[in-house]
Amino acid sequence: MASKQEILQMEICECGEKNVDQAIEIFQNSALPFKKAKKLVTGCSKSCCRAALLKLYDMNQFGHIDYDEIGYLINQRLERIKRLSEES
């Protein structure tokens, strides 16, 4: 299992080139609803990283971040991308 520091450094959004630590910082410095705060992280309107970002946003709203859960969601998406690219 990855450490908290390792998870903080994991890239959560390729489009915006942001890691978990940067995404937390952006969410903490914004009072916008998720759809708008997400665009601050991604810089785009795509939804590829939505699952992990939405979870992180909600965790930030409630003041407790489950780093293992975020790490799991990021890895899950990466595995899925890899599998889809292998199949195509």
| Chain residues that interact with another protein, rule: CB under 8 A | 24, 27-32, 35-36, 39, 45-47, 50-51, 60-65, 72, 76, 80, 83-84, 87
CB 65 within 8 Å of CB 73: no
Closest contact distance (angstroms) between CB of 72 and another protein is 7
Closest contact distance (angstroms) between CB of 47 and another protein is 4
Closest contact distance (angstroms) between CB of 56 and another protein is 12
Task: In whole angstroms, give the CA distance from residue 28 to residue 17.
Answer: 18
Task: In whole angstroms, give the CA distance from residue 18 to residue 22.
Answer: 6
